[in-house]
Chains A and B, each alone.
Chain A
Amino acid sequence: MIAAVASGFALALAAPWIVRRAPAHAGWMLALAPAAMTAYLAAQVPAVAAGSIATAATAWIPTLGIALSFRLDGLSLLFGLLITGVGAVVTVYAGGYLAGHPQLGRFFASLFLFMASMLGLVLADDLIAMFVFWELTSVSSYLLIGFDHDRAEARSAALQALLVTAGGGLVLLTGLLLLGQVGGTFAVSALIAHAEAVRGHVLYLPVLVLILVGAFTKSAQVPFHFWLPSAMEAPTPVSAYLHSATMVKAGVYLLARLAPVLGGTTVWTALVLPVGAATMLVGALLALRQTDLKRILAYSTVSALGALTALIGAGTPAAVEAAMVFLLAHALYKGALFLVAGAVDHETGMRDVSRVGGLRRAMPLTAAAAGLAALSMAGLPPALGFLAKELLYEAVWPGPGGAAWALGVVVVASAALVAVAGIAGVEPFAGPAHPTPRTPHEAPPSLLVGPALLAGLGLAVGLAPVWTAQPLVASAAGATLGAPVTLALKLWHGFTPALGLSVLTVLAGATLYATRSVLRRDAAWLDRAGRLGPAAWYDWAMRALLAAARDQTRLLQSGYLRTYLLVVVGTTVAVTGYALATRVGVRLPTALGDVRSYEWVLAAAILLAALGAVRAPSRLAAVAALGAVGYGIAVVFILYGAPDLAMTQFAVETLTVILFVLVLYRMPRFARYSGTAARVRDALVATAAGGLMTLLLLAATGFSLERRVSAYYAESSVPLAGGRNVVNVILVDFRALDTLGEITVLAIAGVGVYALMRLRARTR
């Protein structure tokens, strides 16, 4: 299994090369790999149906309990076959559909990246590993939707799809991590054993909601459904494969996979079933209004995803069995219809159903495939779709798991979908021919084999379900229910209520189909309602976000140094003051101690010089005043017995003043830029900052001097370091590393100024 997934990724890497070597046959050649995988998986069906489960695992992040573990049970196998089987068909199709496209290699690389990821997703047993593949499917979907990136619509649709699915993905990740915390493991197979504990945990509801958000975004459930119709900007093979047959079903897969762990509670049903039902209804109704072939199919896919979600939400054996059969049926007929839509687009140059017609003469084989697929979609015998719809009705028939309102929803939606099947599968081929941008011909073999195969399968399985789909579907349902099921698929059930509903549905659907032009004309209110829907919320949120971003940036990024400094110093005063005032309180030394008169004089002089620097009428005066402050401090050093410091301070001040003078005359004329109010404000902030520092210093003094490490320096300087000048010994021996750093700073500064000046001189 690991090899199967890994080979998919390898194929993604190799695809561009293969396309370059054999551009004409790349589709056929590349399809061999998924076809082989389909055969391999199909060969596993008997064993899996008999109840055996294959596993494979390799350590990944053992200390976090994350492993690359895979598990092949019925559910995984059903999805795996869809992924590889439809994948093979779509690969052949894309080779023809995009023949000669300069970016074909990149297209196949993205497509196989998706295929491998999707396969990994459905095979993974470890939730984190599964999530990794989950996100990779979103990313490959982004790349594929945006494949025709010249068009702005494609770019924004790709972005929208990724934002919704990856955003939901992150919520899902949170849910999965929480689930792992609650259940003590990330392995689904082990979580099932702890299902009772998980469902009874206080965090069960958050876990469930977070995971559902992930599943609903991926599977385009209301209110997240809007991204799927937009995603129709992707090339048609992508729509058929990702956005109908496989990727969008990942959310459904996740629900089915975790149903044995999280399902079976009232909350589960109360959350999942209504959302699914609403999605089914909304999708079906919106599909009726469309005229773009692909958007029709997209909305009907939304509806089908809603049905699947609702069934898994109901969670009864009948519902889950119906879900699995419907899943298979939908993948086959919807895949076929999308590929047909692509062929129509390819041959006529347009895909507006109200403007193409009569194609049955030019494209008879395509028309036949379309008709077969539409048969299944409408739920007419003997196609698989009929079986699925019968099971669906049985599942929601009032009784355990069913409800009258749910039955009503299903009937209305199904009737609408019958009409949609007609619009998508029959209308383009029936009636009189219309002029189209291109003159239609029968599609080439590469575009024909796919729809024919998928639609044909739908018919074959419907005719002989016991021999084909039954074991697979039964074991998939068993995996979802957590218990083996006995399922008997047959076309003829006798005169059951379900059959009656089927007849009713078809009649209602046929009526809707017949009145479709009236619907298109007169139900414009649906469009207006749509403009208030989630797609509009998305647009609004994007605009609001940008506006907020611009405003806050304008506010915070003024570009004025003085503002920045004010904020920095103001924050410091506020935060430090707050921390001290609220948490500890500062006790000040009450007596200043023994202050001599000349110390007062010196302090006053320094203060005066500092004031002078602030009030100076010119730069030169300010520099001189600052120099005076410096000399004053040097005197302080002398008074307190630090001649080294004093000497250094004198020398530094002198050189600094010289440097200032050298720099000053290059500067623009001295002027006052700020008004009185601003100066008062600055003075207040500065005084507050200075006052705070003073207070802090006063509060910090008084720690016993003997315990300071400097006591060691005084003792050891002569005996151990051989120097009587402790300051110097500290500088060149005890803490020579500091000095090394400081002279490095000096050296860099020297070279820096030199480089700056020399470069300026050269550029002038």
Chain B
Amino acid sequence: MPSLILSTAARYLLPLLLLFSVFLLLRGHDEPGGGFVGGLVGAAAFVLVGIAAGVDQARRLLRVDPRAALAAGLLLAVASGLPGVALGRPFLTGWWVTLPVAGGAKLGTPLLFDLAVYLVVLGAALTIVFALMEE
């Protein structure tokens, strides 16, 4: 069933789409984007591969089981809320550090939370799509 044109296109589109999804994730705190839409775009990339070249190929390229991404993401989301608690602040309180790199890039638990969203969305979407495709 896989068509040659589609599978070739998918092979080149995958890295582009993945890059775009990570880009969306990283800029999300200041510009339109974020973990949710980033995760969806990432998932779309692998779905494309799945349609074009089969689920096995998509799974090979993903390297990890999507369910692992899902679980890890959810765990990360909860964990990102804990530093605040350790500091005596309420659950999910943001905790920021300024990195000593170019321009003083900030890193904070809300960004980790966004990453967690990305992972869960990617993992959940792919878990469902792969399960449906495989049967």
Contact = CB atoms under 8 A, between A and B. Distances in A.
Chain A interface SS verdict (over half): helix
Interface string A700-733: 0000000000000000000001111101110111
Interface stretch (A19-27, A282-290, A756-764): A756-764
28 contacts: A644-B32, A647-B32, A647-B37, A654-B44, A658-B129, A659-B129, A722-B106, A723-B110, A725-B29, A727-B34, A728-B29, A731-B34, A731-B114, A731-B117, A733-B94, A736-B113, A740-B113, A743-B121, A746-B120, A746-B124, A747-B74, A750-B66, A750-B67, A750-B127, A751-B67, A751-B70, A751-B127, A753-B131
A563 interface: no
Nearest to A740: B77
A726 to B, nearest CB: 10
B81 to A, nearest CB: 7
B127 A725 contact: no
Given A733-B94, A743-B117, A747-B70, A655 B135 contact: no
A743 to B, nearest CB: 4
Interface string A330-360: 0000000000000000000000000000000
Contact of A737 (B34, B41, B92): B92
B120 to A, nearest CB: 4
A532 interface: no
Contacts of A758: 131
A667 to B, nearest CB: 12
Nearest to A724: B30
Contacts of B40: 648, 651-652, 655
A593 to B, nearest CB: 27
Contact of A643 (B32, B41, B125): B32
Given A733-B94, A747-B71, A757-B132, A655 B120 contact: no
A647 B66 CA distance: 23
Contacts of A739: 77, 113, 117
Interface in B78-132: 78, 81, 92, 94, 96, 106, 108, 110-111, 113-114, 116-117, 120-121, 123-125, 127-129, 131-132
Nearest to A745: B124
- Going nearest first, the 7 A-B pairs with the smallest beta carbon separation are A750-B124, A651-B40, A750-B127, A643-B32, A723-B29, A746-B124, A724-B30
Interface string B15-34: 00000000010001111111
A644 B29 contact: no
B114 to A, nearest CB: 5
Interface string B49-85: 0010000000000000011001101100110010000
A659 B128 contact: yes
A655 B44 CA distance: 7
Given A731-B36, A754-B131, A736 B110 contact: yes
B67 to A, nearest CB: 7
Chain B contact-residue range equals 35 or more
Given A658-B47, A750-B67, A753-B132, A732 B125 contact: no
A757 B131 contact: yes
Given A644-B33, A747-B74, A728 B132 contact: no
A732 B44 contact: no
Given A732-B29, A746-B70, A761-B135, 20 more contacts: A651-B41, A655-B125, A722-B29, A723-B30, A725-B30, A727-B34, A732-B117, A736-B81, A737-B92, A740-B92, A743-B116, A744-B74, A747-B70, A747-B73, A747-B124, A749-B124, A750-B128, A753-B131, A753-B132, A757-B135
Nearest to A757: B131
A663 interface: yes
A654 B37 CA distance: 12
Contacts of B113: 732-733, 736, 739-740
Given A751-B67, A753-B131, A655 B47 contact: yes
Chain A contact-residue range equals 35 or more
A712 B129 CA distance: 39
Contacts of B110: 721-723, 729, 732-733, 736
Contacts of A651: 37, 40-41, 44
Contacts of A744: 74
A754 B117 contact: no
A662 interface: yes
B9 interface: no
A754 B67 contact: yes
A541 to B, nearest CB: 55
Contacts of A724: 29-31
Contacts of A654: 44
A736 B73 CA distance: 14
Contacts of A740: 77-78, 81, 92, 113
Contacts of A747: 70-71, 73-74, 120, 123-124
A659 B133 CA distance: 9
A350 to B, nearest CB: 72
A596 to B, nearest CB: 23
Contacts of B127: 750-751, 753-754
Given A659-B132, A736-B92, A751-B67, A725 B34 contact: yes
B128 A743 contact: no
A743 B30 contact: no
Contacts of B96: 722
Given A655-B44, A724-B30, A729-B29, A749 B74 contact: no
B132 A746 contact: no
Contacts of B111: 732
Nearest to B48: A658
A598 B104 CA distance: 45
Given A750-B124, A758-B131, A761-B135, A728 B70 contact: no
Given A722-B106, A725-B33, A663 B132 contact: yes
B10 interface: no
A520 B7 CA distance: 100
Contacts of B132: 659, 662-663, 753, 757
B43 interface: yes
Between A643, A747, A758, the greatest number of chain B beta carbons within 10 A of the residue's beta carbon is seen for A747
A724 B29 CA distance: 6
A7 to B, nearest CB: 54
Nearest to B121: A746
Nearest to A652: B40
Nearest to B77: A740
Nearest to B98: A722
Between A654, A724, A725, A736, the greatest number of chain B beta carbons within 10 A of the residue's beta carbon is seen for A736
B18 to A, nearest CB: 14
Contacts of B47: 655, 658
A681 to B, nearest CB: 35
Contacts of B43: 655
A759 B114 CA distance: 33
A205 B94 CA distance: 68
Contacts of B129: 655, 658-659, 662
Contacts of A760: 135
Contact of B73 (A655, A662, A732, A743): A743
B117 to A, nearest CB: 6
B114 A728 contact: yes
A750 B120 CA distance: 9
Nearest to A721: B94
Between B32, B44, B73, B123, the greatest number of chain A beta carbons within 10 A of the residue's beta carbon is seen for B32
A725 B32 contact: yes
A659 B44 CA distance: 11
A676 B116 CA distance: 50
A97 to B, nearest CB: 68
Interface in A646-692: 647-648, 651-652, 654-655, 658-659, 662-663
A743 B39 CA distance: 11
A728 B124 contact: no
Contacts of A749: 124, 128
Between A651, A652, A722, A743, the greatest number of chain B beta carbons within 10 A of the residue's beta carbon is seen for A743
B124 to A, nearest CB: 3
